[in-house]
Amino acid sequence: MEFATFTERVAAIEAEPADLEIVDHVRALLEESTADSSGDEQCGGEQIPDEQGSGEQAVDDRGGGDRTAAELEILARFVQGRVFPAWDSTTLDIGPSSCYEAIARAAGTNVSPVNVEDRLAELGEIGEVAASYEYGGQQGLGAFTDTAGDAGGDSLTVREVDRTLRDLAAADGDGSADRKIDILFGLFNRCSSEEARYLARLVLSEMRIGVGEGTVRDAIAAAFDVPTDRVERALQVSNDYGRVARVAREDGRAGLDAMDLEVGRPVQAMLAQTGTVTGVLEEWSEAAVEWKYDGARVQLHYDPDPERTGESKAEVRVFSRNMEDVTDALPEVVEFAEETLERPAILDGEVVAVDEDGSPLPFQEVLKRFRRKHDIAKARENVTVRPVFFDCLHADGTDLLESPLTARHEQLVELLAEGDGAAGDSPDEIRGLSLLWRTDDPEEIEAIDAEALEAGHEGIMLKDPDSTYSPGRRGKHWRKRKPDVETLDCVVTGAEWGEGRRATFLGTFELSVRADDSDGALETVGKVATGITDETLADLTDLLEPHIIAETGQEVDLEPEIVFEVGYEEIQSSPTYSSGYALRFPRFQGVRHDKNPSDADSIERLERLQGQ
Ligand SMILES: Nc1ncnc2c1ncn2[C@@H]1O[C@H](COP(=O)(O)OP(=O)(O)OP(=O)(O)O)[C@@H](O)[C@H]1O
């Protein structure tokens, strides 16, 4: 297909406000490349044998039918403004200023990159700027073979644009920046103004014609008469709209259903919604509870078979939440995989920065390591990272996306226990394993939350134990605990001496609020034991001990002097405490040294907050 035919279609899409019509345009575009799938070498008027390939083996160096298939793949990507499939971390690696330079050179000797930038300031969008010039007059300036001496010659085809952009992406090393500009200049030099509009947008990832992922999904289903949900599933496992379009056309539904995960190709991460303990226990008969680690999401791909991977040793790849390849930045994760895993796997987890004792460091520390391209060994000396895995998407040839969470977790335990990672049989002796508890008991969940906070983690995740893995979805099956929106200032009226290691600390603080009669009376509303480190407990003990007025066993009554700021999940009406209310999941936030009991919150505020 000629690039001009593609850009005409794209212009029509851009001008179309109705979503359904847009899907129809994309369907027609995909079908247009279908017209020649018989193997004819004609492709939308394009004479394939005349095309000159260069560089890397692109997807289209094959026979006639394959060539139109390659074209279909390209169209499905270009229409979304993509050159590479989502799973592929390759980028064109060309900045806006290089693009302006290429446009300026192709637009004529009177145009400079500064003129292009000025016009951009005026028109506000690079496509508009690119379309405002005439091209084709410049000869002999480009070093690119397809175009040198060929300016204004044969029209561009979509396959040629794709291949040329792949060459551009592949240029690296000394002088590559100039070579990229030369290559791009060569392309612009063969464009009409309208073609240049969309080429500029494609190159700078600014296509923005209103074609989202759902549009292409629906268009593939309509063009090749396959069910939308099967297209959706195939997209989830492959992250490749081009390939899915091709399989839908060539092999229909059966072909789509046969598409599997591939070790080495990232899958979109399943995401979480906010939720509350009370809320999930109403929805599910049980919750799977895990610690929420405060790091960066990683997906580990491991294949130990050199024959399959074509490499001399096991293949290990690590991807970020955005499916970027971050393997080189995280050698600890690679070493972990090599030491721990024995069979092919795709694992989902979090990479956390840790101190010398293995205790987690704040999230910002992970960022110093993540995506780092240079001085990795030095960065590793300053910040160590450790992976923790909570899910398993593929194990030894079997995809697990459709399996329930608990089965996937069992598989995860099995895989991580096989190599050198397990010190014993118990899950907490398995290195890199995130533990999972199943419970319907809110108190147990509270205890897990307390433990997670105590160990320096962010809190807990609540998951539906029966749920399947939905790539890219922020569904209701994974809940991150809602951050405390409001806090309350409560007077501490009692406490308990701890046990064991904490025997010398006061803990489990009784919280009270002011009664409405404003004569200083206080009524209890709950107890807080969560979110307090040993260090803070020691400080709080020093602060509160002088205020002890009575002791019975481990319990102490306190003179009402100290005010705590407390977060909570929910306020419930409850006969348990004298205020008539109870805080669900109260969490200690800090001491309000600036407040007296008379400034603490009142029952009236509880009433108002409960009604919200
Ligand atoms: N046990 C766990 N299960 C799932 N995710 C976890 C777990 N522990 C830590 N995480 C991290 O928590 C993230 C979900 O929480 P959260 O939504 O707060 O993350 P975010 O990236 O800051 O925000 P958002 O996903 O809303 O954009 C996951 O993407 C993952 O990185």
Question: Can you give the pLDDT at residue 47?
Answer: 37
Segment among 33-42, 388-397, 535-544 with least mean pLDDT:
33-42
Pocket test for ligand 1, best of 297, 445, 460, 479 (most atoms within 8 A of CB): 297
Q: Mean pLDDT across the stretch 277-286?
A: 92
Six-digit token string for 340: 């721990």
Burial letters for 461-495: b for 16+ Cβ neighbours within 10 Å, e otherwise? bbbbbebbbebbbebebbbbbeebeebbbbbbbbb
Residue 48 has pLDDT above 50, yes or no: no
How does the average pLDDT of the chain come out, rounded?
88
Q: Which phi and psi (to 5°) does residue 465 adopt? A: -60, -25
Residue 303 has pLDDT above 70, yes or no: yes
Do residues 479 and 487 lie in contact, with contact meaning Cβ atoms separated by under 8 Å? no
Residue 168 has pLDDT above 60, yes or no: yes
Could you report the per-residue pLDDT of 450-462, keeping only the tens digit for each?
888 888 888 899 9
- Give the list of residues 6+ apart from residue 107 with CB closer than 8 angstroms, or none: 116, 133, 134, 135, 188
- Give the list of residues 6+ apart from residue 478 with CB closer than 8 angstroms, or none: 270, 271, 272, 273, 461, 462, 463, 464, 467
Six-digit token string for 565: 């700021």
Using CA atoms, how far residue 458 sits from 366, 375, 480, in Å, is 14, 29, 10
Six-digit token string for 574: 């409850």
Q: Is the dihedral of CA 46, 50, 52, 57 positive or negative?
A: positive
Amino acid 573 reads S
Q: How many CB atoms lie within 10 A of CB 205?
A: 12
* Ligand 1 center–CA 303 separation, angstroms: 26
Could you report the per-residue pLDDT of 194-210, keeping only the tens digit for each?
999 999 999 999 999 99
Assess whether the C-beta atom of 434 lies below 6 angstroms from ligand 1: yes
Question: Can you give the pLDDT at residue 54?
Answer: 38
Q: Mean pLDDT across the stretch 469-480?
A: 92
Binding-site residues for ATP, in ranges, read 290, 297, 321, 350, 390, 474, 480
First to last CA, the chain: 59
Residue 521 has pLDDT above 80, yes or no: yes
Q: Mean pLDDT across the stretch 230-244?
A: 95
Six-digit token string for 457: 């983690």
Q: Mean pLDDT across the stretch 269-281?
A: 91
Task: Return the ligand 1 atom nearest residue 292 CA.
Answer: 8
pLDDT class of 520 with cuts at 50, 70, 90: confident
Q: Is the dihedral of CA 554, 555, 556, 562 positive or negative?
A: positive
Segment among 1-5, 64-68, 386-390 with least mean pLDDT:
64-68
Assess whether the C-beta atom of 290 lies below 6 angstroms from ligand 1: yes
**Residue in 509, 511, 525 with CA at minimum distance from that of residue 604:** 525
Could you report the per-residue pLDDT of 493-505, keeping only the tens digit for each?
999 999 888 899 9
Reported ipTM = 0.96
User: Which protein residue has the closest C-alpha to ligand 1 atom 2?
Assistant: 292
- Give the list of residues 6+ apart from residue 443 with CB closer than 8 angstroms, or none: none
User: Which protein residue has the closest C-alpha to ligand 1 atom 6?
Assistant: 292
Could you report the per-residue pLDDT of 341-357, keeping only the tens digit for each?
999 999 999 999 998 88
User: Which protein residue has the closest C-alpha to ligand 1 atom 31?
Assistant: 297
Amino acid 450 reads A
Assess whether the C-beta atom of 292 lies below 6 angstroms from ligand 1: yes
Question: Can you give the pLDDT at residue 57?
Answer: 39
* Ligand 1 center–CA 461 separation, angstroms: 8
Do residues 320 and 495 lie in contact, with contact meaning Cβ atoms separated by under 8 Å? no
Segment among 55-69, 80-94, 354-368, 467-481 with least mean pLDDT:
55-69
* Ligand 1 center–CA 293 separation, angstroms: 8
pLDDT class of 237 with cuts at 50, 70, 90: very high
Do residues 385 and 333 lie in contact, with contact meaning Cβ atoms separated by under 8 Å? yes
Q: How many CB atoms lie within 10 A of CB 299?
A: 22
Question: Can you give the pLDDT at residue 352?
Answer: 95
d(CA 511, CA 597): 11
* Residue 271, SS3 per DSSP: strand
* Ligand 1 center–CA 19 separation, angstroms: 32
Place of tokens 């108002």: 608
Residue 259 has pLDDT above 60, yes or no: yes
Amino acid 497 reads W
Looking at per-residue pLDDT, the higher value among 513 and 534 belongs to 513
Question: Can you give the pLDDT at residue 179?
Answer: 95
**Residue in 291, 175, 255, 278 with CA at minimum distance from that of residue 574:** 278
Residue 48 is given by DSSP the state G
Question: Can you give the pLDDT at residue 442?
Answer: 87
d(CA 142, CA 310): 37
**What are the strands, taking DSSP E only, across 210-344?**
271-275, 287-292, 296-303, 315-319
Could you report the per-residue pLDDT of 116-164, keeping only the tens digit for each?
999 999 999 999 999 999 997 665 544 344 443 334 457 899 999 999 9
Do residues 94 and 203 lie in contact, with contact meaning Cβ atoms separated by under 8 Å? yes
Q: Where are the alpha helices (DSSP H) in 228-294?
A: 228-238, 241-257, 277-283
Residue 557 has pLDDT above 60, yes or no: yes
Task: Return the ligand 1 atom nearest residue 274 CA.
Answer: 17
What would the 3-class secondary structure string for 301-328 be? EEECCHHHHCCCCCEEEEECCCCCECCC
Residue 581 is given by DSSP the state E
Binding-site residues, in ranges, read 290, 297, 321, 350, 390, 474, 480
Question: Can you give the pLDDT at residue 125?
Answer: 92
Question: Can you give the pLDDT at residue 356?
Answer: 86
Question: Can you give the pLDDT at residue 518?
Answer: 63
Could you report the per-residue pLDDT of 482-493, keeping only the tens digit for each?
666 689 999 999
Question: Can you give the pLDDT at residue 451?
Answer: 86
Q: Mean pLDDT across the stretch 282-297?
A: 95
**Residue in 158, 135, 156 with CA at minimum distance from that of residue 6:** 158
Pocket test for ligand 1, best of 367, 480, 481 (most atoms within 8 A of CB): 480
Percent of the chain with pLDDT over 70: 90
Residue ranges and CATH numbers for the domains of the chain are 3-203 (1.10.3260.10), 271-479 (3.30.470.30), 487-611 (2.40.50.140)
